Homo-oligomer: A and B are copies of this chain.
């Protein structure tokens, strides 16, 4: 992570070496809690080393890079930095899970204008917590102090996950057919997309702030908007052992209308039955306050469902039972019909 360079000259240039060292010291203990058996060596090497698990005949690596978008600004506003770390890892876990991959390791990138070691520690604490929950190693990362690019303690947070799947088990939606059923797993809230729009509606147009209590939500805005992006790893892994899952779509940026088509064959469309799942109050609230039409809502937000699962109709009941056996809610939210790789709300 951060390296130690000449203190005096660099301090004058706005790069605080002591803060860097303190940040590394604080982060190190959290990173160590997120080792898995594949990790070789310790921190401080040029690259992180990970011994591949054995027993795969045609192992495929699956990788995704993402950030948490302008949710970082809300974290700063609430002075609560651990949850964006969790958001980032869970987001990335879901992005490779939809292709059938289990996470191996995660690498983070944290950049700021002025390194606050306490902030860096909280972020890495959140990353490590989510890595542990997803049996994923926090293998390494980069902490950069970049005065001039970032202003003051402004920061950005991004990361890359690497997972693995047997080639014949890659889930790509190719076997989706008319008649298949869409199941939905609930989201916890906005997850990690739509925040620039949300900030504009609630803070700029309405003049609210993070402390504003919203009766419809029974919660302050900051608490609502920082709810942690859910990981679907445990539920989907359990389901994959019992059911032939034909397709999985992670409803992130682009919402329902952009993400579901990514897994549809060219001759299929998805009919999504509105009202078949409980829309979280935050979405009704945003729609009303922002006067957003339905298309905008479904093209931007998850509307209360973070993961869509496509299964054969003959296996739908069994899939629902398998999820409910984990005490997790699941809804039948639509079906596949003939069409042209799109979503229709009905």
Contacts and interface: CB of A to CB of B under 8 A. Distances in A.
A199 B15 CA distance: 12
Contact of A258 (B4, B59, B252): B4
A170 B258 CA distance: 43
**Interface SS of A by simple majority:** mixed
A176 B195 CA distance: 52
A252 B99 CA distance: 36
A15 B200 CA distance: 11
Contacts of A48: 62-64
A231 to B, nearest CB: 14
Nearest to A160: B160
Count identical subunits in the complex: 2
A228 B142 CA distance: 21
Nearest to A248: B46
Interface in A1-54: 3-6, 8-10, 12-15, 40-41, 44-52
B66 A142 contact: yes
A38 B49 CA distance: 20
A296 interface: yes
16 contacts: A3-B253, A3-B254, A5-B254, A6-B299, A10-B197, A15-B196, A15-B197, A40-B167, A46-B96, A46-B250, A47-B64, A49-B170, A50-B61, A63-B160, A149-B156, A158-B158
Q: Chain A, interface size: which category?
A: 35 or more
A101 B47 contact: yes
Q: Which residue, of A52, A64, A65, A300, has the highest number of chain B Cβ atoms within 10 A?
A: A65
Contact of A63 (B6, B12, B109, B140): B140
Given A62-B47, A254-B5, A109 B107 contact: no
A112 to B, nearest CB: 10
Nearest to A250: B46
A95 interface: yes
Contact of A5 (B72, B290, B299): B299
A59 B38 CA distance: 11
Contacts of A101: 47
A67 B109 contact: yes
A49 B61 contact: yes
A255 B149 CA distance: 23
Interface in A88-112: 95-96, 98-99, 101, 104-105, 107-109, 111
Contacts of A98: 46-47
Q: Which residue, of A40, A63, A194, has the highest number of chain B Cβ atoms within 10 A?
A: A63
Interface in A139-198: 139-142, 144-151, 154-156, 158-163, 167, 170, 172, 193-194, 196-197
A243 interface: no
B66 A258 contact: no
A70 interface: yes
A292 interface: yes
A337 interface: no
A41 B172 contact: yes
B64 A200 contact: no
A60 interface: yes
Nearest first, the 6 A-B pairs at minimum CB distance are: A160-B160, A3-B254, A13-B200, A6-B296, A47-B64, A65-B107
